[in-house]
Amino acid sequence: GAGVSQTPSNKVTEKGKYVELRCDPISGHTALYWYRQSLGQGPEFLIYFQGTGAADDSGLPNDRFFAVRPEGSVSTLKIQRTERGDSAVYLCASSLRGTGANVLTFGAGSRLTVL
């Protein structure tokens, strides 16, 4: 696609529920990133994929968070047993590796509200 697409754009859920957020990166981009942005803060790194594998998942806050990218394109961020503190905008970005400049293109984000 022309840009990074994220669905849903908004998600409201109840505490304890399971949530999946989807990211469709720019076609041909091999690197994919998930960030979380809380109100009034900059994006905070969660996980980075190079192809199908997670190259760096050091930003995942705990084992309730998990992400997959099974075919090296679309990625899903999964959050189990959601807590109110998980409320934030979840941003996905992709980049074309090997160009000499790791320019990240961000999607518009999925706004998660946990009641």
Cis peptide before 70 (omega within 30 of 0): no
Give the residue with the Cβ less far from another protein, 82 or 109: 109
Distance from C-alpha of 3 to C-alpha of 25, rounded to nearest angstrom: 7
Binding-residue pattern over the window 67 to 106 for another protein, x denoting contact by CB under 8 A: ------------------------x-x---x---xxxxxx
- Residue 21's H or E segment, with its range, is strand 19-24
- Token representation of residue 73: 């394109």
Q: Is the Cα dihedral 96, 70, 1, 87 positive or negative? A: negative
Query: Which one of residues 28, 42, 53, 70 is an interface residue with another protein (CB under 8 A)?
Result: 42
Closest CB to another protein among residues 59, 72: 59
Chain residues binding another protein by CB under 8 A are 4, 33, 35, 40-45, 48, 55-56, 58-59, 91, 93, 97, 101-109, 111
